[in-house]
Structure 1
Amino acid sequence: MDTRAVVKASSFLILTIISIPTNLLVCCAFLHNRFTEAKLLTADIIICHLAFANLMVALIRSIPQTIAALGYVNLFDDVGCKITIFSFRAFRGLSISLTCLLCVYQAVAISPATSLLAPLKTRIPQYLMYIIVFLYFLYYSTSVMTALNAVFNLFNNTIPPYTLNLEYCFVLHKDYFTYISIGFGVMSRDLVFIVLMIIMSGYILKLLYQHGQKVKSIRSSDRSQKEGRAETKASRAVVTLVILYVVFFGIDNVIWLYTMTISRVTLLISDIRDFFATLYTSVCPIVVITTNPKVQRKLKLVKMKKEAQPTESSTHTM
């Protein structure tokens, strides 16, 4: 194995080891909460779908990239490649849009009653499932074109210009215009959600600053202070997710814009772009686990049960 393959295998293996267990943990925590308490808050539902989307991205892209780096490239046939590319594009897009939805809802939740966003406090929970279904439909429908161009093998093993090379699959574009059109279409679609995230994050930071100024000048009750701290913590977590996604999205698309200037993209450039396209799947659940009180409570319960088991077994043996 050359140095590039070793670094690639190690990098994607680390992403896989982190992202799959952590995203599963977030999904299971909220699903368990749903069956035990029979209700999930709006933000919880969005985070659960976001964790599922991130989990699918990790399964569909990180694992094949790790295996391909180890030299096993014959993973799929043409149909398998089309399904893999289609699923990756769809779930990665869902990861963007669901992060945006979470950011918008958090901005709405902490906005004052006099805000223009106030009417959305009841509208978003009321139409949440319709919004999520629309996002699934949007990204499924717009991911078909790229998936149709995916193949597992090339004629005469020669890579034609304007081809996305994943080593285990190839996405062909018949000419430069098609390559540019599909690329700019995908970037423009995602950029709408990114811009909206940035605007809402700025609004959240403004509200947090104003809230901090009020807290300094007004002595509030313990209950309101606790509620304020919970809202502040949740808002900061959402802003953190947005900042991370904007950074990763920016790096991904700067690399993509660079590839527009050349007809044949080297494997190293393709690997770096893929890494940043999937990095969010590992970082996002870590932020959720370290900031979400419901997930933390579930972890504490599991830990307490594990600690209680040895005590119970020792009692039975006496």
Structure 2
Amino acid sequence: MNKKWKFSKYTDIRNAIFFEVIIGITANTVLLLFHIFTFLCKHRPKPLDMAISQLALIHLVLLVTMAVIATDIFGFEDWWNDLLCKSVIYVNRLMRALSICTTCLLSVLQAITLSNRNSCLATLKHKSAHHYPCCLVLFWVFNLLLNGRYLISIGATPNETSQSLMFVTESCSQWPISYLFRYIFLSLVNIQDISFIVLMAFSGGYMVRLLCRHKRQFQHLHSTSLSPKASPEEKATQTILLLMGFFIIMYLLDCVTFSSLGVLWKDDPIHHCVLMLVGNAYATICPFVLMSTEKRMIKCLTFRCEI
């Protein structure tokens, strides 16, 4: 494949991608700094806050690496070498894998927090603070090893052309790997993604069930004409349900876009730009969803902190 991708003429799409990345980086930075400030004011941060701050950090790094990749795809820089190609692509794919892990962990933690005393999940309420770091280390170690293939298969595009090369960016290419190794890698990735999607669906269904039961109990005790205000816990649950639903939709849309456009517009620059826009949508919208119901952020901006 000797084709060099020329994206410079697609000005509108290029500007949309950079605008999306800049907005996402700014929002995730604000969310991360807010939680860092909160941690400094609290001696024992909650596991839910730790998961949100980690998600903001993951998306921040993801969008920064995406910005670096975009500068090369659109031909703004020409200083890439083999080490830079390996590290940037590896970190980008690692952050994408950790994004689904952390989103799933966030939904499970909220389901545990919302569970009543008679539930089987109630026993995990006090243990979640201890189990969270273990899960976090496990996710990192597994995905560090799983995405290690990019350190082997990704490299700077050589001057000599080759039909076996697959261009990743303007300066980076992916070398062919054995069928067995590729099959094992794709199987592990798919198993992980499907497992987390199913777990998110179960935890989301469990939270919806608890919220509906709480609403029925309130209407039974009080007049149905009253419109009770949702508790902070319920608002957090609704936010995480919205976030989880948006993630699943964007994940499925990303899969459909990748499979359909990959067949219809193979090696078309617009195809790759659409994939970039869809792939970065969750990381960009996520902090706004989390900040929309975060009243503590107003206190943080006014230099007040609850201890």
TM bucket normalised to smaller: 0.7 to 0.9
Out of 74, 86, 94, which is 2:98 matched to? Answer: 94
- What corresponds to 2:234 in structure 1? 232
Instruction: For 2:268 and 2:7, locate their aligned partners in 1 and report how far apart those are by CA, in whole Å.
Output: 15
What is the alpha-carbon root mean square deviation over aligned residues? 2.7
Change (3 A) 1:27 1:210: same
Q: Alpha carbons of 1:148 and 1:186: their partners in 2 closer, same or farther (altered >3 Å)?
A: same
1:124-181, CA deviations, whole angstroms, 9 ceiling, x for partnerless residues? 11221111111111111111013311112145345536x2522242223346665555
Q: Is the 2:17–2:277 Cα contact (8 Å) retained in structure 1?
A: yes
Letter in 2 for 1:97: C
Residue aligning to 1:308: none
8 Å Cα contact 1:47-1:102 kept in structure 2: yes
For 1:4 and 1:273, locate their aligned partners in 2 and report how far apart those are by CA, in whole Å: 18
CA displacement at 1:294 relative to structure 2: 2.5
Q: How many Å apart are 1:60 and its aligned residue?
A: 0.6
Structure 1 residue 296 corresponds to structure 2 residue 264: no
Equivalent residues in 2 for 1:112-123 (5 A)?
Answer: 112-123=116-127
Question: What TM-score results when the alignment is normalised by the length of structure 2?
Answer: 0.86
SS in 1 for 2:298: helix
Q: What are the superposed Cα offsets for residues 211-264 of structure 1, whole Å, 9 maximum, x if unpaired?
A: 1111212249xxxx77x5111110011011111111111122223444776996
Matched with 1:30 is 35
State yes or no: 1:250 paired with 2:252: yes
Change (3 A) 1:267 1:176: farther
Q: Percent identity?
A: 21
Query: What number of residue pairs does the alignment pair up?
Result: 295
Per-residue displacement from partner, 1:61-109 (whole Å, max 9, x unpaired)?
Answer: 13431x2354225242111111111111111111111110010010111
User: 1:41 pairs with 46, 50, 60, which one?
Assistant: 46
> Which of 256, 263, 278 is the equivalent residue of 1:276?
278
**Unaligned runs of at least 5 residues, structure 1:** 303-318
Query: Which residue in 2 is equivalent to 1:52?
Result: 57
The 5 Å alignment of 1:80-229 reads 80-158=84-162, 160=164, 163=166, 165-174=168-177, 181-219=184-222, 229=231
CA contact 1:16–1:63 (8 Å) conserved in 2:
no
Q: Secondary structure, in 3 states, of the residue corresponding to 1:122? A: coil
> What secondary structure, in the 3-state scheme, does the structure 1 residue paired with 2:174 have?
strand
Give, in whole Å, the separation in 2 of the partners of 1:38 and 1:298.
16
Aligned to 2:18: 13
Q: Is the 8 A contact 1:13 1:63 kept in 2?
A: no
The residue identity in structure 2 corresponding to 1:202 is G
**For 1:279, what is the secondary structure of its paired residue?**
helix
Preserved CA contact (<8 Å) 2:106 2:240: yes
CA distance in 1, matches of 2:28, 2:249: 21
1:170 alignment partner, SS class: strand
Structure having the higher helix fraction is 1
Rate the CA distance shift 1:186–1:268 in 2: closer, same or farther, 3 A: farther
Structure 2 stretches lacking a partner, 5+ long = 1-5
Amino acid paired to 1:138: F
- The answer (yes or no) to whether the contact 2:116–2:122 under 8 Å persists in 1 is yes
The equivalent residue for 2:81 is 77
Structure 1: how far apart are the matches of 2:275 and 2:74?
19
1:267 and 2:272 matched: no
In structure 2, relative to structure 1, the CA distance for the partners of 1:168 and 1:294 (3 Å cut) is farther
Residues in 1 aligned to 2:189 and 2:159: alpha-carbon distance in whole angstroms: 27
Instruction: Say if 1:100 and 1:197, in contact at 8 Å, map to a contact too.
Output: yes
Matched residue SS, 2:126: helix
Query: 3-state DSSP class of the match of 2:122?
Result: coil
Q: Higher mean Cα deviation, 251-260 or 237-246?
A: 251-260
Write the distance in 2 (CA, Å) between the matches of 1:173 and 1:267: 22
TM-score by length of 1: 0.83
Change (3 A) 1:178 1:271: farther
SS of residue paired to 1:151? strand
Q: Which moved more, 1:211-220 or 1:260-269?
A: 260-269
